[in-house]
Amino acid sequence: MQPKFDLFPFLGILACILGSLVMIVMSMTALSIGPGAAEVWMIEGTTDQVPVLIEWDGISVTIHPGKVRVPWGAAVENEGRNASPFGKLLSDIAAEKDKRYLFIAVRPSGFGNFADLRELIHKRGIIMGYEPIDQARPLGVE
């Protein structure tokens, strides 16, 4: 007499695992493309100048990729010629204008006083670009 295997319990377990995996993958996908997901900017193409990314939210400047946050009060001191990380960054870029430029990701909360930051950078003769970004979306750079 041949041994008899009943595959139904095994099939049940497999179907449950499959369902669970589908749910996990869909949840992760939803989270990774949803409103809480980080937006990671990869700099496209090659240019003669390398952008340095900073983030402006109206009350502080965040320097990427280290995400060093500098309050606006400290950043603007002495027209940006100060010892804060932002002041040092401006000095570094001003010394290498041919090789680097500043790129600013502007949060909607920073729209109102963005002109102040822009004027500060402009006075140092630094080349810049800027782009709006959603208020809550985390930002990274590769």
Partner 1 sequence: MMARYHRHAGFNINLDSLTDILANTVGIMIFVLIYAVIASRGVFIAKRLPKLQPTTKERVVVICTGNALFPLKVDELIDRYTEPLNGLVYYNIPQVVETLNKRRISDGMLEVTGQFHCSEATGLFSSTRKIDSGYIIIVPCAGIQGDTTADVEISGSYFRRLLADMDKDRQYLLFFLSVDSLEVFRKARDFARQYGFDSNWEPGNIQWPLRIWALGDSGGESSGSSFLDKIMGG
Q: Does 59 bind partner 1 (CB under 8 A)?
A: no
**Sheet architecture: strand order including 68-71:** 68-71, 60-63, 50-56, 100-106, 128-132
* CB of 34 vs partner 1, minimal distance in Å: 9
Q: Please say whether the beta carbons of 49 and 98 come within 8 A.
A: yes
Among residues 2, 44, 46, 95, which is the contact residue for partner 1, using CB under 8 A?
44
Q: Does 115 bind partner 1 (CB under 8 A)?
A: yes
* CB of 112 vs partner 1, minimal distance in Å: 7
Phi, psi of 7, rounded to the nearest 5 degrees:
-85, -5
Q: Which residues contact 3 (CB under 8 A, 6 or more apart)?
A: none
Applying CB under 8 A, the residues found at the interface with partner 1 are 7-8, 10-11, 14-15, 17-18, 21-22, 24-25, 28-29, 31-33, 37-45, 49, 51, 53, 101, 103, 106, 108-112, 114-115, 127-132, 134-135, 138, 140, 142
